[in-house]
Chains A and B, each alone.
Chain A
Amino acid sequence: EAGVAQSPRYKIIEKRQSVAFWCNPISGHATLYWYQQILGQGPKLLIQFQNNGVVDDSQLPKDRFSAERLKGVDSTLKIQPAKLEDSAVYLCASSPVRGGRGLTDTQYFGPGTRLTVL
């Protein structure tokens, strides 16, 4: 079974530039997550999709971050404009359940995109 795919693996940009990350979840997984992992910290959830709808984006800095999951499969996370503090690894994960009331299951993670903002 193919895992979660992410691209690019590395990205270096200057502050105020924009950047986009792409994620392809495991086939058939309805729920997709984007996490931000700053060096020395654990991953922090930014946004959660169920199919192509947003379930939770309470920790997404909406003034500069946006995400979409058109057609309920691939997803794109964008940062515009980037700040120095956005330097982190951006992880995509997917899980095979709907993430609804009382339902839970394992999340499978991709390799991440390491973003450096200069």
Chain B
Amino acid sequence: AQSVSQHNHHVILSEAASLELGCNYSYGGTVNLFWYVQYPGQHLQLLLKYFSGDPLVKGIKGFEAEFIKSKFSFNLRKPSVQWSDTAEYFCAVNPNILTGGGNKLTFGTGTQLKVEL
């Protein structure tokens, strides 16, 4: 079965610092990759997604992620974080396997990001 690993469970940064959150998955076939964000008191929202094409994906609020197939990774980055980026971030993978029941997301355990003023 596929799995998703997020290495950092809690990250604390100061405003304007750069951010990189790691995400690795275990699946050898074609995948679709997602980052979701959950702001305090709000529901899960899509940050960005990769389906195919350019492995560098840009999302909302200045976030980007790079798909490196050889490393099974999809790390999330932002050059300069803001206090409002405080949230929990989830990486998710859809293995896109050719069986019934496609579009089944497997989530990582999440990374809680706190940005301090």
Number of chain B residues close to chain A: CB under 8 A: 28
Name the residue of chain B whose CB is nearest to the CB of A109: B44
Alpha-carbon distance between A99 and B32 when the two chains are bound, in angstroms: 13
Interface centre among A31, A95, A100, A112 (most CB of B within 10 A): A100
Number of chain A residues close to chain B: CB under 8 A: 30
The DSSP consensus for interface residues of chain A is loop
Name the residue of chain A whose CB is nearest to the CB of B45: A109
Alpha-carbon distance between A102 and B103 when the two chains are bound, in angstroms: 8
Please determine whether B110 and A55 come into contact, CB atoms closer than 8 angstroms. Answer: no
User: Which residue from B4, B94, B103 sits with its C-beta under 8 Å from A31?
Assistant: B103
CB contact list, B65-95 vs A, under 8 A: 90, 92, 94
- B-side contacts of A93, CB under 8 Å: 44
Q: Mark A53-87, 1 if CB is under 8 A from B, else 0.
A: 00110000000000000000000000000000000
Q: Does A104 touch B at the CB level, under 8 Å?
A: yes
Q: A40-B109, A55-B101, A100-B102 are in contact. Are A106 and B46 (CB under 8 A)?
A: yes
Alpha-carbon distance between A35 and B44 when the two chains are bound, in angstroms: 12
User: Which residue from B44, B90, B102 sits with its C-beta under 8 Å from A101?
Assistant: B102
Q: How far is the CB of B105 from chain A (nearest CB, A)?
A: 6
Please determine whether B44 and A48 come into contact, CB atoms closer than 8 angstroms. Answer: no
Q: Does B117 touch A at the CB level, under 8 Å?
A: no
Q: Does A16 touch B at the CB level, under 8 Å?
A: no
Alpha-carbon distance between A40 and B108 when the two chains are bound, in angstroms: 10
Alpha-carbon distance between A103 and B99 when the two chains are bound, in angstroms: 10
Q: Closest 10 interchain pairs by CB? A: A42-B107, A56-B101, A99-B103, A109-B44, A111-B43, A55-B101, A104-B103, A104-B32, A43-B107, A99-B102
5 A-B contact pairs sorted by A residue (CB < 8 Å): A42-B90, A45-B105, A45-B106, A100-B102, A102-B96
- What residues make up the interface of A, taking CB atoms closer than 8 Å to B? 3, 31, 33, 40-45, 48, 55-56, 91, 93, 95, 97, 99-112
